[in-house]
Amino acid sequence: MENIRTVVDEVYRSESRRVFATLVRLLGDFDLAEDAMHEAFAAAVEQWPSIGVPTNPRAWLVSVGRFKAIDALRRKERLKEIVSDLAEEVGPALYEMEDRDEAKFKDDDLRLIFTCCHPALATNTQVVLTLREVCGLTTEEVARAFLSSPSTIAQRIVRGKAKIRDAKIPYEVPSPPDLPERLDAVLSVIYLVFNEGYSASSGDALTRPDLSGEAIRLARLLLELLLDTEVAGLLALMLLHDSRRAARSDDHGDLVLLEDQDRSLWNRDQIAEGREIVERILSTGNFGAYTVQAAIAAAHAKAPSSSETDWGEIVALYDILLRAAPSPVVELNRAVAVAMRDGPAAGLELVEAILGRGELSEYHLAHAARADLLRRMGRKGEAKSAYEQALTLAKQAPERRFLQKRLTELGP
């Protein structure tokens, strides 16, 4: 009995959200599917000790969940219409205990991801829906991750599901012409989740590991379902960033710059996997912005020490990135790389050109970069006011402490 419980728990961990995804398609409703999924697992605990663990647990759970849901609906009079529709669709298949349609199951996972990331939903809503419905985080876990209250998150989720239902957002994988754009939206949600975990937008801790791990898991799932170079590129990017987690902050929770990090703390397995993916994609000649960003991260990761970093390669990659995904932030990052390759004066010129255009004026890292370059050029007074400006804009405690430390080091 003990053993079965463990087995069910493991199946729950690995399959519950995928069972859920299929039940949403069969029952046409998120909440019905959630209840049905839980009923199915309860049934598993009851029945598997005597019937044994099914060869295809997922199929068994889907069948039982569907059966129990329709049964429950029958008992509710006002839902007669829904039941008759479902009964028409399902018919004799209702009693099939083994549905071997693996391809359909795979599509259900995709349907779920694309529905949660539908552009008709606000980005915030896409993020929490994805974490809750695809990753299976509880409302409390999502709330903790975003430093929000469970009731706020719960409300956002309820409203999101209501919009899906009321506006009739269909439960489907986007058609080929729409797929690239819709996939972009999914990738940006995944990356948002990762960044929230990698460098928390506010609060005391520099990183919130759970979210980064979820994002990586999501990207792996998506890659399994959809072979696409940008999905792989994003996975590589996140693995390479995540590999530096242990070295990014010191014992006091303070920021450690890339150039000062103890590289022996970097996760070699993640680096190896990230680099392998990057090399594989680049060799196809068909890649996008995430892959280029991953290539830049790989260039850093392969340097045994900060001084051995190939800044020339990095600047060249930024040149490519600027063509693929031009943005002031990319320009800023390129400027920092140029400074490393050609000296601070060259970088400063580029940073000031961006700020001079009126761009990134509210971005604390732009001012911090400018401050750093001025500091390296011995222009203390100007460096100090730039650090002060960065401080007024920085929200994260460890980043603020770092900027304050630089300011203090510059003296009176």
Partner 1 sequence: MKYICLGYHDEKSWEGKTEADQQAMMDECFAYDDDVLRKNGHFAGGEALQGTESAVTLRFRNGKVDVTDGPYAETKEQIGGILILEARDLNHAIQLMSKHPGVKTSTFEIRPAADISELIRESEKRRSKKN
Asked if 70 and 90 count as a contact pair (C-beta separation under 8 A), the reply is yes
C-alpha distances (whole Å) from 409 to each of 369, 377, 397, 404 are 16, 15, 18, 9
Q: Rounded to an integer, what distance in angstroms lies between the CA atom of residue 205 and that of residue 81? A: 52
Question: Which residue's CB is nearer to partner 1, number 166 or number 409?
Answer: 166
Question: What single-letter amino acid sits at 102?
Answer: E
Question: Which residue's CB is nearer to partner 1, number 129 or number 374?
Answer: 129
Q: Rounded to an integer, what distance in angstroms lies between the CA atom of residue 288 and that of residue 213? A: 23
CA 248 to chain centre: 19
Dihedral of the CA atoms 74, 80, 85, 90 (nearest 10)? 10
Q: How far is the CB of 325 from partner 1 (least distance, A)?
A: 23
Question: Which residue's CB is nearer to partner 1, number 31 or number 172?
Answer: 172
User: Is residue 339 classed exposed, middle or buried when 0-12, 13-18 and 19+ CB atoms within 10 A define those classes?
Assistant: buried
Question: Which residue's CB is nearer to partner 1, number 166 or number 308?
Answer: 166
Asked if 318 and 330 count as a contact pair (C-beta separation under 8 A), the reply is yes
Q: How far is the CB of 184 from partner 1 (least distance, A)?
A: 16
Q: How far is the CB of 178 from partner 1 (least distance, A)?
A: 8
Asked if 167 and 149 count as a contact pair (C-beta separation under 8 A), the reply is no
Question: Which residue's CB is nearer to partner 1, number 165 or number 268?
Answer: 165
Q: What is the DSSP secondary structure assignment for residue 250, as one 8-state letter?
A: -
Q: Read off the tokens for 230.
A: 């940008």
Question: Which residues in this chain contact partner 1 in the complex, by CB under 8 A?
Answer: 118, 120, 166-170, 172, 174, 178
Q: How far is the CB of 15 from partner 1 (least distance, A)?
A: 28
Question: Which residue's CB is nearer to partner 1, number 42 or number 162?
Answer: 162
CB atoms within 10 A of CB 141: 18
Question: Which residue's CB is nearer to partner 1, number 161 or number 364?
Answer: 161
Nearest residue to 109 via CA among 36, 57, 173, 13: 173
Q: How far is the CB of 226 from partner 1 (least distance, A)?
A: 18
Q: How far is the CB of 167 from partner 1 (least distance, A)?
A: 5
Q: How far is the CB of 223 from partner 1 (least distance, A)?
A: 24
